[in-house]
């Protein structure tokens, strides 16, 4: 079983959700939460990449 996290799929899913929210004019608080989630995933991806490269 492959336990690798596919950060790009997570980011893509968040981006798709953000597009839906923008098009449906849903509360901006939901969009803010998605932006925060996106940043968290990007930080995790950067950390993971730096660990893989021995930093």
For residue range 24-36, list pLDDT tens digits in order. Answer: 888 888 889 999 9
The tally of CA atoms less than 13 A away on the side-chain side of residue 5 is 11
Of all residues in the chain, the percent with pLDDT exceeding 90 is 36
Q: How many CB atoms lie under 10 A from the CB of residue 24?
A: 8
14 close to 37: Cβ distance less than 8 angstroms: yes
How far apart, in whole angstroms, are the C-alpha atoms of residue 49 and residue 45?
A: 6
CA distances in angstroms from 35 to 1, 45, 54, listed in the order given: 31, 15, 29
């Amino acid at each position: 079983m492959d336990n690798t996290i596919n950060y790009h799929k997570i980011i893509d899913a968040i981006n798709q959700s953000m597009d839906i929210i923008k098009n449906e004019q849903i509360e901006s608080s939901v969009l803010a939460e998605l932006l925060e989630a996106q940043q968290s995933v990007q930080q995790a991806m950067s950390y993971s990449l730096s660990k893989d490269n021995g930093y």
